[in-house]
Structure 1
Amino acid sequence: MDIDGFAQCLTYMQATAVKTSTDKFLPLAGTVVGAGLAFGLNYFSTTRKEAKTKVAKKKCCEEDVHELMHICEHTLRNTLEICETIATKKRPTGHNLPSAVSLPLLDKYYPEIAHTFSVDQRYWIKLVFRLVDDINRDLDLLTKHEAETSLFKISVLAINLEVCLLEAYKRCYCIMKDNKFEFSEHDEALAELGIAQEQITWLSILKANAEKANSVLSLPNT
């Protein structure tokens, strides 16, 4: 048999040979393994990306809470200045109060990642949202309608605002530390924030006046 004949014979034998089970399923197995590997890599990449996104969103929420602490502290100081003016029976002629307080990042991201906060943090965050609503209500009344409001009513608004601001500050502090704290009594807490004792005294006088229906200072009520 010459070389050409042998080659033809070999080709015929390969073409007519019966394939084994391994030969039949090897291409399919390769496809399945390849698909599984691709799925695994894609899942790992997606999971890692989602984890990073959650961490970034949580940091954004914490930044809002931290900023609110500073806003509350700043607004507290300005509110106490207003209280001092009112307690001396003068109408405030100006203020440095914000027109409103907002939590844009917490509003946007918190619903998606609430589960990443502890039970206590979630409770405090709910309180903060409610307190911010109260703060904005009082700010609106104080900054937009002061000319139409009696001095006594302004004093009551200032007192309410001060209470909400201090409480919001405390809740924010708890959220940031993820821990419950026993805070100092009201006046001591204000002093720890650097509020002058004289202003704290004027605030106490306004509170006593409000509790006794304006009989202490007899502020204009019309």
Structure 2
Amino acid sequence: MKAAQGVRLLLVDDEPHILQFLELGLINEGFEVKTAPDGASAIAIAADFKPHVAILDVMMPGMDGFEVCRYLRSEETEIAVIMLTAKDEVDDRVKGLSIGADDYMVKPFSFDELLARIQARLRNQFPGLLGEVRCGPFRIDGRRKEIRHRDEVLELSPTEYELLQYLVINHGLVLSKPMILDKVWGYDFGGEENIVEVYIRSLREKLGDKEHRIIRTLRGAGYRVDLL
């Protein structure tokens, strides 16, 4: 799935080698990319560049990623924010989400995973930018809230649509139940994790996936969509 031309990304990190690696990879995917080595520079660049997605490192000298995220949100501009951190701490994650971050990734991470997260944010927040997204036998039309599988429109409830979209866009990645609940139901969802199994079962029936070859279960880990 190739990124659309005209999608603007702002990368903010005080580690030059990370900036260079991500910049080259994302430009190769078709994105328009600008980088900043610190929070103050990021804010100055964002004012003119108006990025669709900002990828912010949390731990930076001076103005940290939390402050940058808070500032971007205060400007009332529509932007998706993905925060990066070297610390796998729940408090940091909750803080980032509570001030307006849309996603959170812990270093080290794979480039493919970051790309999938960016695509997911664009699909959720800027569906018109990507138009119809094709992933193997799936076609996702965010404007119609419609998913086709092998050219057949699937009859999905709104939650089934959000769940299948999340699984397909992140195809090849193992998604745990907590991750799925966070992204589809919201991080403050107070229900049981078993709700995920119920919806997965329904999606498999609608896909004719009796052998679980499309939506695979990885015991103790979560679910993964394979594009067959």
Category of TM-score, reference length = shorter chain? under 0.3
Structure scoring higher RCO (CA < 8 A, sep ≥ 6) equals 1
More helix by share: 1
TM-score (norm 1): 0.27
More strand by share: 2
Which has the greater radius of gyration? 1
TM-score (norm 2): 0.27
